[in-house]
Chains A and B, each alone.
Chain A
Amino acid sequence: MLQDLRKDRDYTYYELTQSMCRQCRKIVDAQIIFRNNRVYMRSVCPEHGATETLIASDAAWYLKVINSPQAPDRPVNHSREISKGCPFDCGLCSWHEKACSLPVFSITNACNLKCPICFTYNREDKKYFISEDEFKSIIDWIIESEKEIDLINITGGEPTLHPKIFSLLEIAQRKEIGRITLNSNGIKLAQDEDFVRKLAEYGVYIILSFNTLDREITRDLHGSDILDYKYKALENLEKYNVPTTILNVSVKDLNDKEIGSFVKLMLKKDFIRSLTIQNMTYTGFGGGSFFNGENSQREHLTIDEVIGNISRAFPQVIYEDDFVPLPGSHPLCYSVNYLFSMDGQVLPLKRIFSPEEYAAVLGKKYLIHPDDNFHTMLMNKINEIWSKEDNDPERERKLQVLKSFISQLYPVGKNLSAFERQRIAEKNIKTIYIHSHMDEDNFDVSRVVRCGDLVPDVNKTFIPACSYNLFYRMNDERFWVEKQL
């Protein structure tokens, strides 16, 4: 009798997208596959073979988020025609699916650190500081294109090293721009208290890179022990009440167990408004050749692993389901969790609202806007919880948190300005963002086409951040140099 000798593959093919080959940097076919309930991208370069990269540790989570897409917020200003195909027409071309939600650009390639995980290319040999004219034309371009924007992000290099940083901040003070955020490794902020005081005057939000509380790991990640600078920077930021985001780059099996500590730090301190976890991307001058672990494998930390990590650190307080894809973004790029945090109580907003209500609260932007509409929703919620007879063990706690929040945000007999409200809301609603950039291993055209984190340029272009990192940076000698291995 005939035997069937055919064997099955050890994985299930789900779909085909396009990625890139790390070796030749060409766009190649990439299968999304499931193996043992984990999701991988299997990129196959006809010349250099197959690479498999973990993109989600739980297939059910992946299918849930990937299959709940949301319509983009507003029309996109396309300034270029499609000719070579994504991602080679950036500018944005008419194929792009998302308007700019966060312009992010570098004002210098100077840095006072040389981090082994650095994803950019800083050039000691050819220092660049953006001129005021250049800076102004970029700001003008952002406003011309987007009319109004919630926030902009100024980065580097180490932007605090720019000799004219305060002139630049002056230029960026425009009514069309809601908020200026400035990245820093914290060294300048630790060394120069007066600098921090001035930043506070300019109303700037600081994004402080802070990856580990472990002195040995800090040397692995940054090349030297900079922990004391971080503590001192935090002290100064707190002293002048500078609204701060902790930016935590998380590397699997290195510092990823510490995420919970950073969540705790954020919840404890009023001036720390949010925490952004950035999953390590193995790209750039340092990052491109950074290996963790002993087997020289680039282990990719996935969004759902970070979510699991956080919820395990806060049992009964933060659930995995409290995280949702950031509205309008690709679910593998951003996940977000807003939490009421006051009077020692922590309560994720997701727990209070239905999915539809929550979507309405989140809107289509990075930030919650505590307008009248929001007030109405909260009031209705209180009434609803109040009147509902159910066995929700959290009922009393929810009511208490909501009432306390409303009494601060909408005090009786006092009409606060939108700005005041925003500040109060920020203090009481903390945010955890999980933000995954892409590298050569997990680049996906399906993701980049709906990127809203765009790099603006004086030549009136916007380039999606990951497109820029992987395909355009090498044409920009300010922020790239051929690496000597």
Chain B
Amino acid sequence: MNSSYTYYKTTRSVCPVCHEVIPAKIIFVESSVYMLKNCTSHGEFRALISRNKENYIESLKINKPATYPLQSFKDKFEGCSVNCGLCTEHQQHTCLPIIEVTDYCNMDCPICLASNHRRFNMKPEEFRGIIDGLVKAEGIIDLINISGGEPTINPHLPELIDIARRPEILNISISTNGRIFLKNKDLLLRLIDKDVFISLQFDGFSPEAYKVMRGEGMLDEKLEILALLEKHSARTSLVMTLVNGLNTESVPAVLKFFLEKEFIKSLMFQPVIFVNSRFPYNESMAVTLPDVMEMIASGSGGIIDQKDIVNLPCSHPSCFALTYLLKLKGGGYIPLPKLIDIESYLDTIKNKTIPGLEPGSYNIIQDNIYRLWSSSGIYPETEKITKTIKSLIGQMGSLGRNPSAPDVFKIVESNVKSIYIHHFMDSYNYDISRVMKCCNQYALPGSKLIPSCVYNNTIRER
């Protein structure tokens, strides 16, 4: 491996075998970016980081200052990723906490990033402790994610939701394979009643892909679950794990489906990570962030350009990218970045992964309407756009001078759809430089917040 590569920089990673933190280099090989690392016990490893060097370099510049939490649970810094807490040096607050409420599951997916030992269902008191801790740390939390295992298995789930339903927590989502809803419609109705976002694992329209990724060809079951969610207008987010060459061909169909369905509010793409011994590392199956951007652009039927998908500056830019689509009166969608110049767009997405929670966002949109009017005719659908924004502002205005965040959110949600890309790390592409800025942490009992990839790669018992 001494041949033909260009050294870019040094960072640290973990050994895929012993999971010790080891030195790593970021290198360029032709137009791709790789990580090269060496474990003194287990030798040399090379992992794909990005198939688009230019995109990788440029994306690193999309960045902004971190926000302090109100309280750090750990005031001593022992070196990054040593006894995470979060410590005072961590470079982002907890934007999106994940709480795993069970390690039971009714499936056994070869690509599972958790490892379900089937040992616990979190008790309400323990959950309350975690929620209290989060509120103490953050004051206000946009969204918490309840996960597992399969969280719908936890018999206390409705009670947990009630505990989390407090004014400081604006949204609750639950990550699920959805299987239980077919048998227990009542649970679904209760979740809908409690205004919970359903984050449904959905890997596209290929039964074969399900077989490989999930261990069973469950497409029909997924479609049935979706029909049920639609029937009850459940606020739904689709989460699609991408395995290159396996289900990536489904991306255009999934995009189309997402845009057609009113009840689906957002679509999340997650490149597969190789953390499960039943799904060993295979570079050709890996998907990198710019790969997904390209897939979305080419699969969106001309609606979205690649440049409309922006790396999230408050997370590490290699971890998240997203775009917002504004629903037009009279049909169709337009990506928000097309309407708003990129600088003010970055302001809008600021520290949030949900659009419109800050009143400031709407001032920015308003400013840009004037630009839009004056550039009438440049955008092909100007008339639709102006109608849409007028109506949006009308709706916002009807809320009065200081609208509450949830009310604003409701309006935004019915007018805007979001597409996210979230690239977790595995022990191959793990980069401590990214960990330092993680905004997506596991909230654990005992007031501990651990960056998700630190937890998955160095702590989780496998």
Q: Contact residue range for chain A?
A: 35 or more
Taking the complex as formed, is A71 at the interface, i.e. its CB lies under 8 A from any CB of chain B?
yes
Instruction: Mark interface residues in A406-423 (1 if CB within 8 Å of B CB, else 0).
Output: 000000000000000000
Taking the complex as formed, is B179 at the interface, i.e. its CB lies under 8 A from any CB of chain A?
no
Taking the complex as formed, is A472 at the interface, i.e. its CB lies under 8 A from any CB of chain B?
no
| Least CB distance, B229 to chain A, in whole angstroms | 30
List A77-98 residues whose CB lies under 8 Å from chain B: 82-83, 85-86, 94-95, 97
A9 touches B89 (CB 8 A): no
Taking the complex as formed, is A391 at the interface, i.e. its CB lies under 8 A from any CB of chain B?
no
Identify the closest chain A residue to B168 (Cβ): A2
B139 touches A2 (CB 8 A): yes
Task: Choose among A4, A15, A46, A72 the residue with the greatest number of B CB atoms under 10 Å from its CB.
Answer: A15
Q: Which residues of B contact A8 (CB under 8 A)?
A: 65-68
A1 touches B2 (CB 8 A): no
| Least CB distance, B35 to chain A, in whole angstroms | 14
Instruction: Mark interface residues in A1-32 (1 if CB within 8 Å of B CB, else 0).
Output: 11111111111111111100000000011010
A6 touches B93 (CB 8 A): yes
* Also in contact, A15 and B66, with CB within 8 A (given A70-B6, A446-B10): no
Q: Which residues of B contact A297 (CB under 8 A)?
A: none
List B73-87 residues whose CB lies under 8 Å from chain A: 76-80
Q: Which residues of B contact A72 (CB under 8 A)?
A: 6-7
Q: In whole angstroms, how far apart are the Cα atoms of A16 and B437 in the complex?
A: 10
| Least CB distance, B202 to chain A, in whole angstroms | 33
* Also in contact, A85 and B23, with CB within 8 A (given A5-B70, A8-B66): yes
Taking the complex as formed, is B382 at the interface, i.e. its CB lies under 8 A from any CB of chain A?
no
A445 touches B28 (CB 8 A): no
Contact of B77 among A9, A46, A63, A83 (CB under 8 A): A46
* Also in contact, A10 and B65, with CB within 8 A (given A46-B77, A85-B23): yes
Instruction: Mark interface residues in A421-433 (1 if CB within 8 Å of B CB, else 0).
Output: 0000000000000
B67 touches A449 (CB 8 A): no
Taking the complex as formed, is B282 at the interface, i.e. its CB lies under 8 A from any CB of chain A?
no
Taking the complex as formed, is B63 at the interface, i.e. its CB lies under 8 A from any CB of chain A?
yes
Taking the complex as formed, is B375 at the interface, i.e. its CB lies under 8 A from any CB of chain A?
no
Task: Choose among A1, A9, A16, A67 the residue with the greatest number of B CB atoms under 10 Å from its CB.
Answer: A16
Q: Which residues of A contact B22 (CB under 8 A)?
A: 85
Q: Which residues of A contact B6 (CB under 8 A)?
A: 69-72
List B5-29 residues whose CB lies under 8 Å from chain A: 5-12, 22-23, 25, 28
B436 touches A6 (CB 8 A): no
A9 touches B78 (CB 8 A): no
Q: In whole angstroms, how far apart are the Cα atoms of A72 and B9 in the complex?
A: 13
Q: In whole angstroms, how far apart are the Cα atoms of A475 and B40 in the complex?
A: 25
B68 touches A449 (CB 8 A): no
Taking the complex as formed, is B184 at the interface, i.e. its CB lies under 8 A from any CB of chain A?
no
* Also in contact, A13 and B9, with CB within 8 A (given A2-B168, A7-B67, A82-B38): no
| Least CB distance, A369 to chain B, in whole angstroms | 23
Q: Which residues of B contact A86 (CB under 8 A)?
A: 10, 23
* Also in contact, A83 and B7, with CB within 8 A (given A9-B65, A15-B60, A46-B77): no
Identify the closest chain A residue to B93 (Cβ): A6
Q: Which residues of B contact A5 (CB under 8 A)?
A: 70, 139
B63 touches A28 (CB 8 A): no
Contact of A7 among B2, B25, B68 (CB under 8 A): B68
A46 touches B79 (CB 8 A): yes
Taking the complex as formed, is A310 at the interface, i.e. its CB lies under 8 A from any CB of chain B?
no
Contact of B11 among A17, A28, A63, A69 (CB under 8 A): A17
Q: In whole angstroms, how far apart are the Cα atoms of A445 and B12 in the complex?
A: 11
A15 touches B11 (CB 8 A): yes
Taking the complex as formed, is B91 at the interface, i.e. its CB lies under 8 A from any CB of chain A?
yes
Identify the closest chain B residue to A96 (Cβ): B7
A63 touches B432 (CB 8 A): no
A71 touches B5 (CB 8 A): yes
A16 touches B11 (CB 8 A): yes
Q: In whole angstroms, how far apart are the Cα atoms of A82 and B39 in the complex?
A: 9
Identify the closest chain B residue to A28 (Cβ): B79
Taking the complex as formed, is A263 at the interface, i.e. its CB lies under 8 A from any CB of chain B?
no
Q: In whole angstroms, how far apart are the Cα atoms of A86 and B11 in the complex?
A: 11
Task: Choose among A3, A8, A66 the residue with the greatest number of B CB atoms under 10 Å from its CB.
Answer: A8
Q: Which residues of B contact A18 (CB under 8 A)?
A: 10, 12
Q: In whole angstroms, how far apart are the Cα atoms of A44 and B168 in the complex?
A: 33
A95 touches B167 (CB 8 A): no
The majority secondary structure among interface residues of chain A is loop
B40 touches A31 (CB 8 A): no
Q: Which residues of B contact A97 (CB under 8 A)?
A: 7, 25
Identify the closest chain B residue to A35 (Cβ): B65
Taking the complex as formed, is A450 at the interface, i.e. its CB lies under 8 A from any CB of chain B?
yes
| Least CB distance, A1 to chain B, in whole angstroms | 7
A14 touches B68 (CB 8 A): no
| Least CB distance, A270 to chain B, in whole angstroms | 38
Taking the complex as formed, is A76 at the interface, i.e. its CB lies under 8 A from any CB of chain B?
yes
| Least CB distance, B162 to chain A, in whole angstroms | 19
Instruction: Mark interface residues in B158-172 (1 if CB within 8 Å of A CB, else 0).
Output: 000000000110000
Q: Which residues of B contact A29 (CB under 8 A)?
A: 77, 79-80, 89
Contact of A67 among B5, B7, B57, B80 (CB under 8 A): B57
Q: In whole angstroms, how far apart are the Cα atoms of A17 and B138 in the complex?
A: 28
Task: Choose among A2, A11, A29 the residue with the greatest number of B CB atoms under 10 Å from its CB.
Answer: A29
Q: Which residues of A contact B12 (CB under 8 A)?
A: 16, 18
A69 touches B140 (CB 8 A): no
* Also in contact, A13 and B91, with CB within 8 A (given A1-B404, A29-B79, A97-B7): yes
B78 touches A46 (CB 8 A): yes
Taking the complex as formed, is B69 at the interface, i.e. its CB lies under 8 A from any CB of chain A?
yes
Taking the complex as formed, is A393 at the interface, i.e. its CB lies under 8 A from any CB of chain B?
no
Q: Which residues of B contact A44 (CB under 8 A)?
A: 77, 89
A13 touches B437 (CB 8 A): yes
B23 touches A6 (CB 8 A): no
Taking the complex as formed, is B398 at the interface, i.e. its CB lies under 8 A from any CB of chain A?
no
Instruction: Mark interface residues in A28-53 (1 if CB within 8 Å of B CB, else 0).
Output: 11010010000000001010000000
| Least CB distance, B137 to chain A, in whole angstroms | 10
Q: In whole angstroms, how far apart are the Cα atoms of A63 and B60 in the complex?
A: 10
Q: In whole angstroms, how far apart are the Cα atoms of A85 and B13 in the complex?
A: 13
Taking the complex as formed, is B433 at the interface, i.e. its CB lies under 8 A from any CB of chain A?
yes
| Least CB distance, B45 to chain A, in whole angstroms | 13
A83 touches B40 (CB 8 A): yes
Q: In whole angstroms, how far apart are the Cα atoms of A6 and B136 in the complex?
A: 11
| Least CB distance, B167 to chain A, in whole angstroms | 6
Taking the complex as formed, is B284 at the interface, i.e. its CB lies under 8 A from any CB of chain A?
no
Q: Which residues of A contact B167 (CB under 8 A)?
A: 2
Q: In whole angstroms, how far apart are the Cα atoms of A70 and B6 in the complex?
A: 6
A15 touches B93 (CB 8 A): no
Instruction: Mark interface residues in A234-265 (1 if CB within 8 Å of B CB, else 0).
Output: 00000000000000000000000000000000
Q: In whole angstroms, how far apart are the Cα atoms of A396 and B36 in the complex?
A: 50
A69 touches B138 (CB 8 A): no
Q: In whole angstroms, how far apart are the Cα atoms of A75 and B1 in the complex?
A: 11
B65 touches A17 (CB 8 A): no
Taking the complex as formed, is B64 at the interface, i.e. its CB lies under 8 A from any CB of chain A?
yes
Q: In whole angstroms, how far apart are the Cα atoms of A31 and B64 in the complex?
A: 14
| Least CB distance, B457 to chain A, in whole angstroms | 16
List A339-372 residues whose CB lies under 8 Å from chain B: none
**Sampled A-B contacts (14; CB under 8 Å):** A5-B70, A6-B140, A7-B68, A8-B67, A12-B66, A29-B79, A34-B63, A44-B77, A46-B76, A70-B6, A75-B2, A82-B40, A83-B40, A86-B23
In addition to A10-B65, A29-B80, A97-B7, 10 A-B residue pairs with Cβ atoms within 8 Å of each other are A1-B402, A1-B404, A13-B66, A13-B437, A15-B433, A31-B436, A63-B61, A70-B6, A71-B7, A445-B23
A: which residues have CB within 8 A of B? 1-18, 28-29, 31, 34, 44, 46, 63, 66-67, 69-72, 75-76, 82-83, 85-86, 94-95, 97, 445-446, 449-450
B: which residues have CB within 8 A of A? 2, 4-12, 22-23, 25, 28, 38, 40, 57, 60-61, 63-70, 76-80, 89, 91, 93, 138-140, 167-168, 402, 404-405, 432-433, 436-437
The 7 lowest CB-CB distance pairs between A and B, nearest first, are: A13-B91, A446-B10, A16-B433, A71-B6, A97-B7, A15-B433, A8-B65
